[in-house]
Structure 1
Amino acid sequence: MNRYELSQKIIDTCLELTRLGLNQGTAGNVSVRFDNGMLITPTGIQYEKLTPAHIVYVGEDGTFEDGKLPSSEWLFHLTCYKERQDINAVVHNHSIHCAAVSILNKSIPAIHYMVAASGSTEIPCVPYATFGTNELASFVKQGIAKSKAILLQHHGLIAGEANLDKALWLAHEVEVLADLYLKALSITPDVPVLNNAEMQVVLDKFKSYGLRVEK
C-alpha cells in the first residue's frame, strides 16, 4: 500500500476499534510501519473526523512532519517497531476488560489456549509510568520483547502484529481473554491454567495455523 492507502487503513482500524467497543472518544492510537519510521494517528482528533491528511509520519529518529502532532504515545509505538521486526502495525486501546485487569496489575495467564495468539504463554502487564514518557517506552520495550500483546498497568493494551488486520484481531481477542479472566477471578483467586508443556504445543501449532487474515 502507498501512504494514502495506509493512512486510510489506519482510520478504518480506528473506527472499527470504536465499533467493536474497544475504544472511546480520542483514547488509544494506531500506527503502521512505513519507510524508515511509521505512520500514526495524530493527537486529540476524534476518529470520526480523521482524514488521511491528518495521519502523521514519524521517522525512526523520532522527528515528525512540520505542522502535525503525532499521538502523545508515539514513542512506545516506535519502540515496538525497533524491538521486533515481525511487528508492522500497533494498536493501543483502553478497552474496558483489559484496562480492568491492568488496574489489578495482573498478567493474563494461560487460562485459555488462545493466550498463545500473543506468541507467549501469558500476556504480561508492565509497570505503570506516565503516558508518553521514556519510562513507559522502556517498560513497553521489555514487555513487547516477550509478547505481541501486553497490558500497561492502570492504562490499557498494546497489540502488535504483521499488519493492521491482525493487530486489530489480536486486540479484540485479548479483550475477550481479559473478560474471561475477570469472570474466573470473581469465582476464585486461584484460576486454573494450562501448563507450559501444553502451551508450547499450542504455540508450535500457531506457527502454521496463523490468524486466517490475509495481508
Structure 2
Amino acid sequence: MNEQELRAEIVAVAQAIDRAGFCPSKSGNVSARFAGGLLITPSGLPYARTRPEDLIHLSLDGAVLSGARKPSSEWPFHVAIYRARPEAQAIVHTHSPRATALSCTRRGIPAFHYMIALCGGADVRCAEYATFGTPELAENAVKALEGRKAVLLANHGVIALGGSLAGAHQIVAEVENLAGQYLDILAAGLEPAILDGEEMERVAARFAGYGKVG
C-alpha cells in the first residue's frame, strides 16, 4: 500500500466509526504505521470533513514530520503502543457508547463469550484512569494491553490495535458489541457463565486458522 492509499484507508475507517456512532463530539482517532513513524487523524476536525491530506505524520518520538494540522490529542498513547508492540500496524480509538459506559464502571469484559478471543486473550481489561492525552494514560494503556489487542480506558473509551486497519476496526466494533451484551446481562441482574482458560485457548487456536482479519 502506498502513502496515498494508506491515508485514504485511515480516513475511511475514521468515517466508518463516526457513522457507527462511535465518535460523539469529534472524539476518537485512527492511526497506522508509516515510514518509521505513524499517520494519525487531526485534532478537532469532524471526520465527515477529514481528507487524506489532513493527516499528520509523526515520528515514534511524537515529533511532527509533516502535516499542517495539529495531531489528535491522544497521540501519546499511539506512539507508546507502536513502540511497545512491534506487531501493531494500526490503532483505532473510540468512545463507542456501550463500551464507554462499561469503562465508567472500571470493570473489563470477562470471557462470557468466545468472541472475546478476537481481542487477543481471555478478557478485555480496563486500564487504570488517567487524564486524556497524558503520558500517564499512555503508560496505563500499554500496561493493560500486554498480551491483548483491545483495552477499555477507565471513564474514557476503547483502544484496539491490529495487524491492519481493517483488523483494528473489526476488533473495536466487536468490543462495542461484547460490552453491550455484557451490560444487558448485568442489567438483568444476572452474572454470565465464564468460559475457562482451557476453552479460551481452544478458541484462540481455532481463530488462528479461521481467516479473521489481522
TM-score interval, smaller chain: over 0.9
**Tell me, what secondary structure is at the counterpart of 2:92?**
strand
Find the counterpart in structure 1 of residue 104 from structure 2.
103
Kept after mapping to 2: 8 A contact 1:28/1:92 = yes
Find the counterpart in structure 1 of residue 191 from structure 2.
190
**Tell me, what secondary structure is at the counterpart of 2:118?**
helix
RMSD: 1.3
| Structure 2 CA distance for aligned equivalents of residues 49 and 95 of structure 1 | 20
| Structure 1 CA distance for aligned equivalents of residues 52 and 191 of structure 2 | 47
Kept after mapping to 2: 8 A contact 1:151/1:157 = yes
**Tell me, what secondary structure is at the counterpart of 2:39?**
strand
1:160 counterpart letter in structure 2: L
Q: CA deviation at 1:66?
A: 6.2
Kept after mapping to 1: 8 A contact 2:13/2:169 = yes
Question: Is the aligned partner of 1:179 residue 2:180?
Answer: yes
Kept after mapping to 1: 8 A contact 2:10/2:32 = yes
Kept after mapping to 2: 8 A contact 1:31/1:91 = yes
Task: Give matches, 1:54-65, under 5 Å.
Answer: 54-64=54-64, 65=66
CA deviations 1:6-64 (Å, max 9, x no partner) are 11111110111022222223110000011111000011101011111110000012100
Distance 1:170 1:66, change over 3 A: closer
Find the counterpart in structure 2 of residue 77 from structure 1.
78
Kept after mapping to 2: 8 A contact 1:83/1:145 = no
| Structure 2 CA distance for aligned equivalents of residues 188 and 80 of structure 1 | 36
**Structure 1: segments with no counterpart, 5+ residues:** none
Q: What percent identity do the matched residue pairs reach?
A: 39
**Tell me, what secondary structure is at the counterpart of 1:42?**
coil
Find the counterpart in structure 2 of residue 155 from structure 1.
156
Find the counterpart in structure 2 of residue 138 from structure 1.
139
**Tell me, what secondary structure is at the counterpart of 1:90?**
strand
**Tell me, what secondary structure is at the counterpart of 1:25?**
helix
**Structure 2: segments with no counterpart, 5+ residues:** none
Q: CA deviation at 1:189?
A: 5.2
Find the counterpart in structure 1 of residue 39 from structure 2.
39
**Tell me, what secondary structure is at the counterpart of 1:91?**
strand
Kept after mapping to 2: 8 A contact 1:83/1:144 = no
| Structure 1 CA distance for aligned equivalents of residues 150 and 5 of structure 2 | 25
Aligned residues: 213
| Structure 2 CA distance for aligned equivalents of residues 190 and 68 of structure 1 | 47
Kept after mapping to 1: 8 A contact 2:31/2:41 = yes
Q: CA deviation at 1:205?
A: 1.4
